[in-house]
Structure 1
Amino acid sequence: MTGSIAIHQGDNLAVARRLPDGAFTVIYLDPPFNTGRSRTRIAAVDAAVPDVRRGFRDREYTRLRGDLGVYADEFQDYWAFLEPRLLESWRLLADDGTLYLHLDYREVHYAKVLLDALLGRERFLNEIIWAYDYGAKTKRRWPPKHETILVYVKNPDRYWFDSDAVDREPYMAPGLVTPEKAARGKLPTDVWWHTIVPTTGREKTGYPTQKPEGIIRRIVQASSRPGDAVLDLFAGSGTTGAVAAALGRDAVLVDDNPAAIAVMRERLPGAVLIPPG
């Protein structure tokens, strides 16, 4: 059983606004990390919040956002870009659904505080650390070799999570458990040691921000069932679609970068391309 894939070419906010409420059990967002490099600079857009929300320490969300902006000028523009996309994603998430937001150390601490206020701290489920050991390593500080995935659930009382469906991993000290447990492996914790996409291998597409299938597979396995729908608004190389389809889930992928669309069309030949508008 394989799932269907639809690729939308266009601005992801405009596409999201055309999609129906509660249509997706998993929404995975891997936005640009606001590194300050030219390829990830982001222009601010209007991000008005429809009402005043109370959250962290009972402070108004709008005031909290403003306070954080005072301390981080670049974050103000970044959050103005990201916030309306998060709000649309929340609308699109099913009642038993899960939102995964993939960031790095530059923005994740701000995003966690603001999401707690925007969505409610009771809806926060996990902070997943994806750790790897590849690439250049500075000798002037601890080399940053991890990224963070914030996990929020729409309904804390009925979200879907199937630990039995997740690929297991080897015990780090197999001699400390029974042979049966060692053979079966263990359920991953909230720290995932997983290599980046190998420079040579079947997964490699050449897309600069491509994520490994193993990371996305855990997300889709745990938080959805066969036949459910998965959404990726920053689809890039199409990893979410490839994994979802292989696991029998439907996928909607969105990107406005022609290079990303070309990579996805080659990688996912059975996908339906939906042009802008």
Structure 2
Amino acid sequence: MVDAAVHPAWTPDGPNLVVHADNLEYLAGLPDGSFTMIYVDPPFNTGRAQRRQQTTMVRSAPGEGDRIGFKGLSYSTVRGMLASYDDAFEDYWEFLAPRLAEAWRLLADDGTLYVHLDYREVHYAKVMLDMLFGRASFLNEIIWAYDYGARARRRWPAKHDNILVYVKDPEGYYFNSDEVDREPYMAPGLVTPEKAALGKLPTDVWWHTIVSPTGREKTGYPTQKPEGLIRRAVAASSRPGDWVLDFFAGSGTLGAAAGKLDRRFVCVDSNPQAIEVMERRLAPWLVETDRDGVPVATG
């Protein structure tokens, strides 16, 4: 584990890392284009008091004004409209937008970002990502459907999460469906026996149960996501030996999936409980390091 006080000397041929740090501070010290795949599961509740801060802006000439987005375009008008519609938006933008901007910078030219959200916040992040990456870079909205939890009686029960998928370069991103585990056909009798035995490629709706409360995969960390879910994204959007990143790492599911698929990983979290869980869970793929991130002899 690397303490936040000293950023590790990350290098392409360095060890896998579990980093205890404020993610925005840590990401700023990493070089551009370092990761082929980034997966994040950000919280909605930033822990900050809500506030209204309406800013009225008009689009100005190139190089003028104080809020310029990617490609020189200003999106302040949209931001102001949304902030006036929902007073939680301004806080969420201030918290998440700079971290997503860092994700764009850190992605390799053929890289892919997966942002895992639920129905209450996905619309906020979609607007941000369209602005930061450009709408042409939007690849998919994956629906993770599951069947566990309380049963609502006054509305349709919410049994899905959303995963927004954006690529750095819409003309040159890496994606290999041959590496993805296939799944059974829902109606195997409608296809040939050969196809039924092979299974089908997943669509943008992923049926996968949650982490079993009594299963071996369970770490006890809240919000833990199933390894099979993240494995699918890692397998499709990175190659063996590629670097992958999760800067809201939690229980370290990305690291576990990456280690088993021979990818290299950096997992960042500010929660000491998360670091303890990850150090245990990811031990097979971690090398003991000193405070500067330099590997040291053990045993």
How does the TM-score come out when normalised to structure 2?
0.83
Q: Secondary structure at the match of 2:89?
A: helix
Which of 51, 61, 70 is equivalent to 2:68?
51
Letter in 1 for 2:109: D
Percentage identity across paired residues of the two chains: 68
Determine the structure 2 residue equivalent to 1:37: none
1:205 lines up with 2:219 in the alignment: yes
Letter in 2 for 1:123: S
Cα distance in 2 between the residues matched to 1:60 and 1:81: 19
1:224-258 deviation digits (Å, cap 9, x = unpaired):
00010000000000110011011010000000100
Which of 213, 220, 233 is equivalent to 2:247?
233
* C-alpha spacing 1:52/1:222, structure 2 compared with 1 (3 Å): closer
Note if contact 2:244-2:265 (Cα within 8 Å) is conserved in structure 1.
yes
Determine the structure 2 residue equivalent to 1:26: 37
1:81 lines up with 2:81 in the alignment: no
Determine the structure 2 residue equivalent to 1:96: 110
Flag the structure with larger Rg.
2
Letter in 2 for 1:23: S
Structure 1 moving runs of 4+ over 4 Å: 272-277
* C-alpha spacing 1:220/1:50, structure 2 compared with 1 (3 Å): farther
Letter in 2 for 1:51: I
Q: Secondary structure at the match of 1:73?
A: coil
CA RMSD in angstroms comes to: 2.2
Q: Secondary structure at the match of 2:88?
A: helix
Letter in 1 for 2:47: R
Q: Which sits farther off after the overlay, 114-123 or 77-86?
A: 114-123
Higher RCO (CA-CA < 8 Å; seq separation 6+): 1
1:133 lines up with 2:147 in the alignment: yes
Determine the structure 2 residue equivalent to 1:10: 21
1:248 lines up with 2:248 in the alignment: no
Cα distance in 2 between the residues matched to 1:4 and 1:248: 13
How far 1:275 moved relative to its partner?
6.1
Cα distance in 1 between the residues matched to 2:195 and 2:201: 11
Determine the structure 2 residue equivalent to 1:264: 278
Note if contact 1:9-1:276 (Cα within 8 Å) is conserved in structure 2.
no
Q: Secondary structure at the match of 1:67?
A: helix
Letter in 1 for 2:118: D
Cα distance in 1 between the residues matched to 2:290 and 2:254: 17
* C-alpha spacing 1:4/1:22, structure 2 compared with 1 (3 Å): same
Cα distance in 2 between the residues matched to 1:101 and 1:129: 12
Determine the structure 1 residue equivalent to 2:209: 195
How far 1:43 moved relative to its partner?
6.1
Number of residue pairs matched by the alignment? 264
Determine the structure 1 residue equivalent to 2:167: 153
Q: Secondary structure at the match of 1:51?
A: coil
How does the TM-score come out when normalised to structure 1?
0.90
Q: Which sits farther off after the overlay, 232-241 or 114-123?
A: 114-123
Q: Which sits farther off after the overlay, 151-160 or 265-274?
A: 265-274
